[in-house]
Chains A and B, each alone.
Chain A
Amino acid sequence: MKFSRHTRTATAVAGAAAFALLAVGCSSGASSAEPASSDNPVTLTVTTFNTMGFDDLYKQYESEHPGITINATNIDTGGNALTDWKTKQAAGAGLPDVQAVEEGWLGQVMAVSDSFTDLGEYGAADIKDRWIPWKMDQATDAEGRVIGFGTDIGPVGLCYNKDLFEKAGLPSDRTEVAELLGGENSTWADYFETGKKYQKATGKAWYDQSGFVWNSMVNQLPEGYYKADGSLSIEGNTALSERWGELADGAAAGLSSAQTQWDWGKGQAFLDGSFATMVCPGWLLGNLKGGIEAAGGDGDSGWDFADVFPGGPTNWGGTFLTVPTTSKHPAEAAELAKWLTSAKSQVEAFQSAGTFPSVLEAQTDPGVTGSNEMSEFLNDAPVGEILASRAQGIKAQFKGSNDSVIQEQVFGPATIALDKGTDGKTAWNDALTTLKNLDLK
């Protein structure tokens, strides 16, 4: 008995080993340069994050391209996706054929840009007019190699709750709200002044927390935490410290509701009147809707979207599709990335996930500008139209190698400190100390 069991195990092991060898043989055999067809099947792996709205598109692509199978992984948040990418990049293995890359990672991605396929070799030049110019610039490295095709961008508008505005005696129509905050020439001073009036009238906070306000203030500047030459520029940067002063002044006046970022009390804060406005990049509308629904609310919760932003147009976030050089099917992968970033695909992605396209033709498509689920949820605000208007005049800001770390670890705690009552100067100095301790370059 014992003997036969041993032989059986041995057979199983040998069988598994043979199978593994076979599998390795297969996958290396398929890496030929021949194009994919039903005779030469190719499996493409894709890694995305958050909600990108590609699920139906994959199926469509598979049926239009016989022989191609798409194996997609979606990671819950951008932060986790960054960790995933970094780990695999560091290990030099496990990267997918198509990797979604967020704008905030660009500093780190560009430092290793040679590990991404130059999409110029796969016809990037022919389609470069698809995108708004600055999106294409962001995806081009110092040597002029195009490493990504743009999907969405994050033009920022202002979310506000019209019911709360009405109760406070403020105008609540979205064009009037835009006017109230200064319209085209809206400044942060306008925003904080109106906030103080609101706070006096209601005793409630004006915005959810200081962190997101600060991020948009920094993103808006021609140069943020880094100078365009790549050197760190925070200490003694008057543009930054002046804005910090305004933000600290607002927090001291009780304008911040001190909510937890990305949580908002599991959405309850959107419904209980804790705050009346929020800075809203296009993709954040999805979080707003999700949060309201999670807390049991619906389209009657009073939230609306206004075509105005203090301090002028700005971009926050956005994504690119890249092809890591480890891909065995770069041609097929580039083809898929190209297809996913076509105007038609981008319109569909916007409709299912609210991600505002960086493709010009898609921005003016009725599918984007017209009514959809998101606009109905936000009191029939023409979301696509407003985002397209907010995208006018955006200039891409240089992102340094540790931009995201500074945003999260240096100014994350500092903005929380402001919300908890620390005065602006102390919080700023604490941030500088943190920066020094972290020893970032």
Chain B
Amino acid sequence: MTSTISPPSGPAQQNGRRDPESPGGRGTGPVTRPRREWRSKLGALDVKASPYLYIAPFFILFALVGLFPLVYTFVVSINDWDLLSGAGEWVGLQNYAIELKDPYFWNSLFNTFSIFMLSAIPQLIAATFIAAILDQNLRGKTFWRMGVLLPYVVTPVAVTLIFSSAFDEKYGLINNLLQMLNLDAIGWKSEVFPSHIAIASMVNWRWTGYNALILLAAMQAVPRDLHESASLDGAGSFRRFFSITLPSIRPTMIFVIITATVGGLQIFTEPKLFNPSSSTLGGPNREYQTTVLYLWDLAFNRGDFGKASAVAWLLFIIIIGVGLINFFISRSIASAGATSPGKTARAARRAANKNIQRSGHSPAAHDSKEHRR
């Protein structure tokens, strides 16, 4: 950036500053001065404003499709707003107060977090181990790696249709198998916990391979000599995995956790299409009605745009809250894990000398360490 900006502006600025200092000038003064001043001003403006201009497209787009809807949603949420007949009275924060007391709102939050936990935790564990296996010297590496990504290619709608049929209570594949084994059929679409497992399984099926590939990339960045020296010291493969691989991929792990959180809290397609014939969205008694589904129901079935907007804002605040928690956790893990990645850290570990290790760190890592103490 600086190199493209400075050449034209640099000399112009210097000339502009020099002129007033030498009053007589050299004859060229009176004619060229106004033009030069104009150019210098332009140059100064260029230096100051151009960077903003270059990043402006993102912010203009964000203002249009991000900020404006956000603010508009808030305006809607403080009004008694019907979907069809439009804005009614101004009601202040009443919509928020009502929603915070609505049992269905809390039910939807519980469902969202329950499905999120049931999907995120097994998914990350499975993804890590799949990545670890893919990290070995396998034959046909590319085949296996592309293979785990296949579920991600299929659209969630198609995934949901297939799973929905398999989880059907009366005629579904899974219940038929259970009954063949003389087990009781499970109410996959009408009981709270089974429905959460069913939906989480769809999420897992789709995202495990994707996350496994990201973690695999991180694992491959772990220097092999670390593994070698550890095995020379007599560490087994499990020990190496838990003591070297896992700590080394922490930053990537945090990225995966954060994206899974944001996606998980906004889950919509899977519960929406899990039982499309259900009269109430998200199960007959809202067994798996997630917050976004609840919001959608409020806005488009019950036509209460004001309350739906209030729920949207509440969800927004909750996601920010969870995001902040993630941020703090990631910061503490990142500084704790700062001893493992990076060349200096590796050199330091080899030397097994704590003092060297510390001096090799960046000031930022130092700060955060001292801060923690």
Q: List residues of chain A with CB under 8 Å of any chain B CB.
A: 83, 86-87, 89-90, 108, 111-112, 211, 258-263, 265-266, 268-269, 402, 405, 407-409, 412-413, 416-417, 420, 437-440
Contacts and interface: CB of A to CB of B under 8 A. Distances in A.
B280 A260 contact: no
Nearest to A91: B83
A148 B181 CA distance: 56
A111 B275 CA distance: 30
B135 interface: no
Given A412-B278, A412-B284, 9 more contacts: A86-B300, A89-B84, A260-B168, A265-B171, A269-B170, A405-B302, A407-B279, A409-B279, A440-B302
Nearest to B84: A112
A413 B285 contact: yes
Contact of B84 (A111, A262, A407): A111
B81 to A, nearest CB: 10
B28 interface: no
A260 B98 CA distance: 33
Nearest to A267: B171
B169 interface: yes
B277 A259 contact: no
Contact of B280 (A259, A402, A408): A408
A265 B301 CA distance: 26
A267 to B, nearest CB: 10
A262 B285 CA distance: 18
Contacts of A258: 170
A262 B275 CA distance: 11
B171 A108 contact: no
A268 B85 CA distance: 43
A266 B276 CA distance: 13
Contacts of A439: 98
B73 to A, nearest CB: 14
Top 8 A-B pairs, shortest CB-CB distance: A412-B279, A408-B279, A265-B171, A262-B277, A413-B284, A416-B284, A90-B83, A409-B280
Interface in B283-323: 284-285, 300-303, 305
A89 B83 CA distance: 9
A18 B326 CA distance: 48
A86 B303 contact: yes
Contact of A260 (B170, B300, B302): B170
B350 to A, nearest CB: 47
A412 B282 CA distance: 12
Contacts of B277: 260-263
Contacts of A440: 302
Contact of B169 (A83, A90, A260, A407): A260
Contacts of A269: 170-171
Interface residues of B, number: 27
Nearest to B83: A90
B170 A265 contact: yes
Residue of B165, B169, B170 contacting most chain A CB atoms (<10 Å): B170
A416 B275 CA distance: 14
Contacts of B363: none
A37 to B, nearest CB: 36
A361 B84 CA distance: 36
Given A87-B300, A261-B279, A412-B284, A108 B168 contact: no
B20 interface: no
A118 to B, nearest CB: 18
| Majority secondary structure of chain A interface residues (helix, strand, loop or mixed) | helix
A111 B278 CA distance: 26
Contacts of B303: 86, 108
A413 B280 contact: yes
B102 interface: yes
Contacts of A407: 279
Given A265-B171, A437-B103, A437-B104, A86 B83 contact: yes
A211 B279 contact: yes
B171 A90 contact: no
A115 to B, nearest CB: 8
Contacts of B279: 211, 261, 407-409, 412-413
Contacts of A416: 190, 284
16 contacts: A90-B86, A211-B279, A260-B189, A260-B277, A263-B277, A265-B170, A265-B171, A266-B165, A266-B171, A269-B171, A402-B302, A405-B302, A412-B280, A413-B280, A438-B302, A440-B302
A260 B274 CA distance: 13
B184 to A, nearest CB: 14
Contact of B85 (A87, A112, A438): A112
Given A268-B171, A408-B279, A412-B280, A90 B301 contact: no
Contacts of A265: 168, 170-171
Contacts of A108: 84, 303
Interface string B63-104: 000000000000000000001111000000000001000111
A258 B185 CA distance: 14
A83 B300 contact: yes
B242 to A, nearest CB: 47
A432 to B, nearest CB: 14
A211 B84 CA distance: 28
Nearest to A76: B276
B284 A90 contact: no
B191 to A, nearest CB: 10
Contact of B305 (A90, A112, A260): A90
A260 B83 CA distance: 30
A112 B303 CA distance: 13
Contact of B102 (A86, A87, A409, A437): A437
Nearest to B286: A413
Contact of B170 (A259, A408, A409): A259
A53 B165 CA distance: 29
B301 A409 contact: yes
A392 to B, nearest CB: 30
Interface in B139-180: 165, 168-171
